[in-house]
C-alpha cells in the first residue's frame, strides 16, 4: 500500500500530523490512542502518541508549573504553553514527521487559542502568532475537535475524584468561552478541522474519527483496500502477490510503534 507524501505548512514531510482538541474531560486521550492503534495497523507506519503540555522531559516540568504551580497572569501562562510547544515540536514532533511517522498529539496550538485567548481573553491573533513563532509554523494536517457541553464534561471529571488543576478550576464561564472559541476556529477552517459530537459512545465517536481522518489524509483508498481484503480473507491471512507486504510491515522502514507522552496522570 502506498501513502502519499504531504506538505505541512510549506515544509515537505513524509509523515502525518494529527491533533485532538476539546475541553477537559471529553475523552481525547482515549480517542487518540484508538486512532493510533488503527493507523499503525492500516499504514504500517510508526505511530507517535504524545501530548501537550508535557510531551517531553522539559515539558513535564513546564506542565507541573503551569497546571499545579503558583497563580500567574495570562501572559505568563501563554508563554509557558508556548515554550512547551516549541520544545515538543523541535525535539519530538518534527523529527518523527521527518522519518515518516504518524504523530498524534493530545492538544496543540489550538488549545492555546481556545484557552488563553477564548478563556483568558488575551488577543486571539497574539496567541496564535506566539505559537506559530514557537513552532516555526507547523500546523496539523487534521485536527479533531471533540465537542461537548462543558457542564457534561465537568460531571465526568467530578466522578474521577481527582483534584482539579488550575485550568479546570477556571469556572463555567471560562469553559463556555473556550468551547465557543474552538467552534469558531473549526468553522473558519473546515479543511483542517473535523468536529465530532463527544456526547456519543466511545465506539461511535471513533468510527466517525476514522472515516473523517482517513478522508482528510487521503487514506480512503487504503481503508477500502483493507476492508475488501478482510472480507475476501476472513481468516486474517493476507496474500502477498507482487511483493505486497503482510500487515504490520511498513514501506519506509517505520514499522515500530513508538509511544511517548501520555502517562497515568489524569487524562481526558
The answer to the question of whether 29 is labelled as a binding residue is yes
Q: How far is the CB of 268 from ligand TYD (least distance, A)?
A: 3
Q: Kindly tell me which residue out of 167, 181, 198, 213 binds ligand TYD, with binding defined by CB under 6 A.
A: 167
Residues 111-130 that bind ligand TYD (CB under 6 A): 111-112, 115-116
Cell of 50: 504524545
Q: Kindly tell me which residue out of 53, 100, 140, 250 binds ligand TYD, with binding defined by CB under 6 A.
A: 53
The answer to the question of whether 27 is labelled as a binding residue is yes
Q: Kindly tell me which residue out of 24, 46, 141, 147 binds ligand TYD, with binding defined by CB under 6 A.
A: 24
Would you count residue 52 as binding ligand TYD (CB under 6 A)? yes
The piece of 34-42, 106-114, 133-141, 237-245 that touches ligand TYD (CB under 6 A) is: 106-114
Would you count residue 87 as binding ligand TYD (CB under 6 A)? no
Q: How far apart are CA 119 and CA 260, in angstroms?
A: 28
Alpha helices in the chain (DSSP H): 28-43, 57-68, 74-88, 94-98, 109-112, 124-134, 150-158, 172-188, 202-216, 220-232
Find all residues with CB under 8 Å of 36, minimum gap 6, and list them.
Answer: 47, 49, 102, 104, 257, 259
Number of residues that make up the chain: 268
Residue 212: C-alpha distances to residues 34, 209, 215, 217, 250 (Å): 14, 5, 5, 9, 23
Would you count residue 150 as binding ligand TYD (CB under 6 A)? no
Binding site for ligand TYD (CB under 6 A): 24, 28, 52-53, 67, 81, 106-107, 111-112, 115-116, 167-168, 266-268
List the binding residues. 22-29
Amino acid at each position: 500500500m502506498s501513502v502519499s507524501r504531504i506538505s505541512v505548512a510549506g515544509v515537505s514531510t513524509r509523515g502525518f500530523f494529527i491533533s485532538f482538541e476539546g475541553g477537559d474531560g471529553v475523552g481525547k486521550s482515549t480517542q487518540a490512542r484508538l486512532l493510533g492503534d488503527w493507523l499503525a495497523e492500516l499504514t504500517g507506519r510508526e505511530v507517535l502518541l504524545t501530548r501537550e503540555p508535557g510531551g517531553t522531559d522539559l515539558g513535564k516540568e513546564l506542565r507541573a508549573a503551569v497546571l499545579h504551580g503558583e497563580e500567574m497572569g495570562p501572559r505568563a501562562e501563554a508563554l509557558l504553553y508556548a515554550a512547551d510547544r516549541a520544545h515538543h515540536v523541535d525535539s519530538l514532533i518534527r523529527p518523527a514527521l521527518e522519518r515518516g511517522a504518524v504523530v498524534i498529539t493530545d492538544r496543540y496550538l489550538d488549545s492555546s487559542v481556545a484557552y488563553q485567548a477564548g478563556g483568558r481573553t488575551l488577543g486571539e491573533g497574539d496567541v496564535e502568532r506566539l505559537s506559530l513563532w514557537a513552532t516555526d509554523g507547523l500546523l496539523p494536517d487534521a485536527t479533531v475537535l471533540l465537542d461537548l457541553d462543558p457542564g457534561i464534561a465537568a460531571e465526568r471529571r467530578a466522578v474521577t475524584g481527582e483534584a482539579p488543576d488550575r485550568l479546570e478550576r477556571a469556572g463555567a464561564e471560562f469553559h463556555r468561552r473556550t468551547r465557543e472559541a474552538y467552534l469558531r476556529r473549526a468553522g473558519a477552517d473546515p479543511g483542517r478541522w473535523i468536529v465530532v459530537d463527544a456526547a456519543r459512545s466511545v465506539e461511535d465517536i471513533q468510527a466517525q474519527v476514522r472515516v473523517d481522518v482517513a478522508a482528510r489524509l487521503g487514506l480512503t483508498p487504503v481503508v477500502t483496500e483493507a476492508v475488501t481484503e478482510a472480507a475476501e480473507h476472513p481468516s486474517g491471512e493476507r496474500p502477498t502477490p507482487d511483493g505486497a507486504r503482510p500487515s504490520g510491515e511498513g514501506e519506509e522502514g517505520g514499522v515500530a510503534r513508538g509511544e511517548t507522552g501520555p502517562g497515568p496522570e489524569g487524562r481526558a
